[in-house]
Structures are given as structure tokens and as C-alpha cells.
Chains A and B, each alone.
Chain A
Amino acid sequence: MFDFLDSGQYDLLDAFWVTVKLTVYSAIGSLIWGTLLAGMRVGPVPMMRAFGTGYVNVVRNTPLTVVVVACSLGLASTMGITLGGENFEDIGFRMAVLGLTAYTGTFVCEALRSGINTVPVGQAEAARALGLSFFQVLTLVVLPQAFRAAVTPLTNVLIALTKNTTVASAIGVAEASALMKTMVENESDALFAVFAVFAFGFIVLTLPTGLLLGWVAKRVAVKR
């Protein structure tokens, strides 16, 4: 039943490796971009607040598929922006990471903002009374606690991101779901087995993430 695994025709590990790489790069990117956005949204400059709010509302309501396809068709194919990619494969991968980062950043921003809301007002007031500037209050007092409070929602975002990397197959990135699409067509007599293998692959990727970070969330939570 599972003999398609031995045929040597399909490189399963390679496909899942691309999925992992997409996840890791986009996770790092969206953590940075999301933190910047959250900083803008809680900051004192009205113009930046407006930009942050507008960006989050617009991008969060756009389908990820549209974002990724727009990166590939709009930026790469039409405007010729390749992000230093040399061939089709490289460009596709980088555009997928860009699209995933732009999209996931909004969810990271919202998770962090809810984390910021858990910090008692008195702490920020005390920090301000000491004469710390907004930037110091944010980076020294509020954000470290916000991150610890936001581990659970950020884990949800990371798991969703892992699953969302499958969207990259829409622009021809050879990750797991793209391989599954080829395999279900070629090995249609083993449809359920192929599906089971890929389902198992994603559970292997997401389950430990959830368990590990769930444990981390309990450990780092600020007891109030």
C-alpha cells in the first residue's frame, strides 16, 4: 500500500524540508515585521499609528493566496523585482517568504498588542515617572512582558503559518502540498495512503511545536 514511498520517484523529505525552510524564514521575518507594526500601533506618532492600523486591517482581510500570487505575478513577473533570486525556483521561494511575512506579520502584531494589554498600567506609569522615554518604556518594560504573555497566541500563529506555507504551491514552490498534488494524480490507486503520509507529515511538524511552546508558555507566564 505504501510502496510508492520506496519507488525513489518522490523526494518526500526534500519537499517537507522546503516547507520547514519556508516556515522558519517567514516566522523570523514576521516576528520582526509584526513587532515593528505593534510598536507603530501603540506609539505616540499619529501618522505611524494610522499606517499600522491601516496595514493590519487591509492585509488581514486579504486572502493569503492573493498576497502570495500578487508577490509572484505583480512584483516578480511584472515589475521584475527578484530579491536577488537567480532562477525561477529561488525567486518563487523568496516571493513566498515575502508574502507569508507580510501576511503573518499582521497576526503577530495583533498577538503582541493583546500581550501589551496584559501589562498593568501602573508599571508603565512607574516607568514613565522614572523618566524613561516611550521607546525605553516599550522595549525595557512592556515588550518583554508582552512577549511572555503572548507565547500562546504566537504559537497559534506559528502553527497556522506552518499550515499556510502550502499556499506557496500556488506560485510553483515545490513544497509538501505541491508534491502531494503530483502524487495523488500519479498514484491515484493509493489516494488514501498518500493523504495519510502528508497528513502525518504536517502533524509531525505542528504537534511538537504546539506541545513545546505550550510548555514554554506555562514556564514564562508572568504570575500576577
Chain B
Amino acid sequence: MSSVLYDEPGPKAKARNIAYTVGFLVALGLVLWWVLSTMADKDQLAADKWSPFVKDSKVWTTFLLPGLWETVKAAALALVIALPLGAALGIGRLSDHAWVRIPVGAVVEFFRAIPVLLLMVFAFQAFVEFSDLESEIRPLYAVVTGLVLYNASVIAEIVRAGILSLPRGQTDAAQAIGMRKGQMMVYVLLPQAVTAMLPALVSQLVVIVKDTALGGALLGFTELLYQNRAITANYGANTIAALTVISLIFILLNFALTSFASWLEKRVRRGKKSTGAVVAQDSVEAGAGGGVL
């Protein structure tokens, strides 16, 4: 394998690479040793702190799986509501009428510029004030509301970029055969834009899943990260073990989504039926909103 930046290694470079590898491994090993010895000092390596996750199915059935279910539920609800809303906002932003385009643009930019946590805290308090939701269900509503407001505006930008990524000829052809604007959008532009933006939408799902954890840490939403407290309370201060398992579940779930998104992206690029245009998730130009981490 050769790269832009370096040649196929010759004997000297090979020897040097081996030296670097050894040095790097030693450094990594030292860090690992230091971490493990500190953990051992603080009694975090004791078998009974880790064994519940393998031996005791209760830790899964009472804490981890219900937590994961709440996470997935909130993410799915948020996506299902934000998708049509975002599509509407994205199309609205492309409208020919300034009285639609400008307010929609303002709404999208506003909700993109604000931290999703602020929206969740606001929604939480708004539900306390103006609704008679029961206090157990309130955090879920607040989390979903915050996620929907933020992600609908991000999805709006993805939809807009997807439609704009189509070749100009598509619009021209649709107009030439006498389609109205609405028909053109529904029959010509949107179906093609959907393939271009699918990878970005799947990646956005990762952002949504990650953001549910905010509700657990700050609003008492009983999602996966929230279960950390319950587990450490029940299984003897095994903070590091519990956090490790929780992170692993998050990583596996999101890694599956990320891999699916990049597989989809490759497929779309290769596909003969699509235009080959793909909306990159971070391609949306830097404004006040910017950045989807």
C-alpha cells in the first residue's frame, strides 16, 4: 500500500517504522499500566465490581436494557417527528416566496444556533408550567421536544442541500414538460434528493442517540447513562465498570449506524440510478448554527 505522503518503505524505513512501533507500544503500555495500577489502588479491578455484568442477568434486565430502550425510544420518536418537520422547513427555505423563505430561514438558523441542552431545559420547564404531564413522563417529553426542535432544523439544512445538489437540468426538464412547482418537488426533486441525503440522515441519527444522554445527566430522563447511578448504588461503587459497559453499548449502537451510513454513501455514489450526489453531513456551510457533533 502506498500513500500520497510517504513511499513504500524500503529496508531502512522498515527498520525505522519498527522502532517507532515499539516506542509507541511502550508508551501506550506505560499509560495502560498506570491506569490499571491506579484502578487497582482504588479497588476498581476487584472481580465483584465487574462480574455482575457477566454473571448477574438482573443488572441487564432491571437497569441496562430498560435504559437502552428509553434511549432508543427517545431517539426514534425524535427522528420520526423531526423528519417530516425538517423536510417541510427545508422545502420552505427554498420557496420562491420571500414571506415563506425568510421566516423559515430565521427559525432554522435560530434553533441550529442554540445548544440542544438549552432547548431541553426550556421544554422541561414549559411542560411543568403549561401542561399537566405526570412527572415520570415529563423528562421523555422534554428530551424529545429539545431533540425535535434542534434536529428538525438540521434536517432542514440537509434536505435543502440534498435538493440543491441535484443537477440544474432536472428542474429545467420538469418545467419543460409543464409540471407545476409542487409536482416538480414531489415527483422529480424529492425522490432523487432522498438518496443523496440518506447517508447524512443516518449519521444524524447518531447525533440524536448521543444527545439523549443529556437528558439522563441533567433532567432525570431514565436513559442508558442515567442507569449508571442506579447500578453503582446497587453493585457497590463500581463506577468505572458501569461506565465502561454503558459506553460500550453506546459505541456499538452508534458504530453500527455510522458504518451503515458510510456503506449507504458508497452505494449511492456507485449507484447508476442516482445522480451520484451525496450530501456530506458536515458540508452545511458555517453559519451561526454550524457543526453537527
Q: Footprint of B on A, CB under 8 Å?
A: 42-48, 51, 57-58, 60-66, 69-70, 73-74, 77-81, 103-104, 107, 111, 119, 121, 124-125, 128, 134, 137-138, 142, 152-153, 155-161, 163-164, 166-167, 169-170, 177, 180-181, 184-185, 188, 191, 195, 198-199, 202-203, 206-207, 210, 213-214, 217
Knowing A62-B250, A81-B38, A166-B117, the reply to whether A44 touches B218 (Cβ < 8 A) is no
**CA–CA, A4 to B7, complex, Å?**
65
Contacts of A80 in B (CB 8 A): 38, 42
What's the interface size class on B, roughly? 35 or more
A104 to B293, CA, bound (A): 8
Q: Are A137 and B288 in contact (CB under 8 A)?
A: no
Asked if B72 CB lies within 8 Å of chain A CBs, one says: no
* B125 in contact (CB, < 8 A): yes
Chain B interface, DSSP helix/strand/loop, else mixed: helix
Residues of chain A with a CB closer than 8 A to B211's CB: 63
Contact call A74/B240, Cβ cutoff below 8 A: yes
Contact B285 A61, beta carbon cutoff 8 Å = no
Where chain A touches its partner, the secondary structure class is helix
Q: Does B113 contact A (CB under 8 A)?
A: yes
Contact B293 A45 (CB under 8 A): no
Contact B21 A214, beta carbon cutoff 8 Å? no
B99 → chain A closest CB, angstroms: 23
**Provided the pairs A44-B13, A191-B122, A191-B125 are in contact, do residues A61 and B4 lie with their beta carbons within 8 angstroms?**
no
Query: Which residues 87-142 of B have a CB within 8 angstroms of A?
Result: 110, 113-118, 121-122, 125-126, 128-129
Give A104 to B3 CA distance when docked, in angstroms: 26
Give CA–CA (A58, B251) in the complex, Å: 6
Known contacts A44-B13, A185-B125; 18 additional CB pairs below 8 A are: A44-B9, A45-B20, A45-B21, A65-B216, A66-B213, A103-B293, A152-B285, A152-B286, A155-B286, A160-B290, A160-B293, A161-B293, A177-B117, A177-B121, A191-B126, A202-B115, A214-B286, A214-B287
